[in-house]
Amino acid sequence: MRELQPENYDVLIGHYSHAFVERFVEDRIVVIDEFPAGAYVNSLAGDVLRESVFQWAKDNPELPFDSLDELTGGALSENDIAASNKWFGSGYPQRDSTGLTHNRRLFADTPLAVYTLLNGTRLDNGLKYCELGNGRTGVYNPRVGRKGKLTFYLLNRPNFDAAEQVVALDGTFDKTMWKLATGIEFEVENVLDEKRRESYIKDTLGYHIYRISIHSRPTSGGRYTDPERVRLIRETIEDTYDTDLAFIGSYGDMYKHETNLAEADVLPKDSHNREDVIGSGMFENHNLGLIWGSNHFGDDYVKMWSALGGESASRNKDVRNPDYGSLGNRVVRWMRESLTAQELFRIGRDRSKSVIYVYTAHTPEWLPINGTGEVFRAWSKGARNVVEVLRELDGDRHTEPQIRNQTEIKQSQTNKCLRELSRAGFIEQVETSLQTNIWRDKELEKFDPKGFVDLTLVHTETPSLPTTDHGLQDAVEEGEKISSQ
């Protein structure tokens, strides 16, 4: 690695798309910060694709088809396909922007979509894949999403040949994914070995990370998140530390779905959707955080990236351990585990102690975890019934027979519910005799029928947070004054 002389360098800071401008990359060291994901992927779908193909075919009447349906429905004969390919000529197809000025329903990538449909290799899962030259790869999926939209994807990689060197910065680097997205075979150099990385995360950065669910908890669609559960977990954490937390969740959870968290008014004031936080420092001064769920952009997303790599991906029937194939599993691991790690590293970047709760079991294997458990428990109908009885009975002490006589459940279930409520700290047993047990209210007013959150399942002692850094800063400033006198 050669020694850099900063005074001799002209630094440009830009977007991923600036890599397409040769004068921006020529003879420069190009640094790509974080995996570019969809930065180089375009798509045409549904009626937009259908109309664009129609308009393009209309502008090129010598072609033997008039519509997308003819291309996808098997209406073209072998002679029609041969005639179409002859029209394209030798070599790879090119984008066509000639008709864009007079027709807003026409898109420049349409010829590439048509070429993919004509010449693409059909994969086992029904998608078509086609190399289009100049760093481009096309994929056609005949059915995307719940409405089954036919969709064309184009991976359009920049040409980095003019660059002196290309450097990728990614704390969760996957060599295969980076090569697929950029076309570059990177040499991987880890800044820290496994032992030093763990020490850096725990000791230098001061992270205390707790997984508060043993399940996947995919949330990107926003359909399966219960606002009351979010409220209970958030309030429990904030009450434990007596401070507000930083919240990171999916856009669907927070704003899109009909039961979204914003309308339910359960989000803390410092909340951001995960699509916005990566690469930012918006939570760097927060020392308490909650990552809600894991990313999962859907099976169609996994199929798309796998197809761009020439592989078929389909989920197996094992719900607990889904398998998408070699490349598909890499895509899943990136979006579900690597992105979760990227999100939590947005919180507390000031190198003071930070406590972060992650409501998913999916974190990278190398990430040091201080505790794991399923901290949320929904109350059974029986437990709710026992609480109702306890609140209605006169006095502050009640025998088990008194309680059982008023409940709607069996004796054994009533006893079990009483012990569950006792372990949760809502009631306590004050006397025991051979005949019966006597129970009394401890904190029954705090009982929430929606559920209960027990953080002691992940840590027996609550981690402390730094109170403030003002005292330290004042001391530093005072020391500077003394030294300058």
pLDDT score of 473 more than 60? no
Tens of pLDDT along 347-402?
987 767 899 999 999 999 999 999 999 999 999 999 999 999 999 998 888 999 99
CB-based burial of residue 242 (10 Å sphere; 0-12 exposed, 13-18 middle, 19+ buried)?
Answer: exposed
Q: Same domain, yes or no, for 314 and 224?
A: yes
202 part of a folded domain: yes
Do residue 220 and residue 333 come from a single domain? yes
Strand partners, 440: 397, 428
The pLDDT tens digits for 176-235 are: 999 999 999 999 998 888 899 999 999 999 999 999 999 999 886 666 788 999 999 999
Domain assignment of residue 456, yes or no:
no
Give the rounded percent of residues in the chain with a pLDDT score beyond 70. Answer: 91
CA quadruple 80, 83, 87, 88: dihedral sign: positive
Mean pLDDT computed over 156-165: 96
**250 phi/psi in degrees, rounded to 5:** -80, 155
Give percent of the chain with pLDDT exceeding 90. Answer: 70
Q: How far apart are CA 187 and CA 182, in angstroms?
A: 14
Residue 476 in this model has a pLDDT that exceeds 80: no
Mean pLDDT score across all residues of the chain: 89
Residue 418, in any domain of the structure: yes
Q: What CATH number does the domain containing 419 carry? A: 1.10.10.10
Q: How far is CA 480 from the centre of its chain?
A: 44
Domain identity same for 315 and 341:
yes
Number of alpha carbons in the 13 Å side-chain half-sphere of residue 341: 19
DSSP 3-state of 246: strand
pTM for the predicted model, two decimal places: 0.85
Q: Assess whether 114 and 176 both reside in one domain.
A: no
If asked whether residues 19 and 66 sit together in one domain, one would say no
Residue ranges making up the domain that contains 343: 194-377
Is 330 in the same domain as 442? no
Q: What is the pLDDT of residues 47-83, one digit of tens each?
A: 999 999 999 999 999 999 999 999 998 899 999 999 9
Indicate whether 11 pLDDT > 50. yes
Query: Given 377, 396, 431, which residue is the final one in a domain?
Result: 377
261-301, pLDDT tens digit by residue? Answer: 998 999 999 999 888 887 777 888 899 999 999 998 989 99
- pLDDT: which is higher, 395 or 123: 123
pLDDT of residue 477: 40
Counting the structural domains of the chain, the total is 4
Q: What is the rounded CA–CA span in Å between residue 477 and residue 485?
A: 13
Q: What does the pLDDT look like over 404-424, one tens digit per residue?
A: 999 999 999 999 999 999 999
Same domain, 127 and 21: no
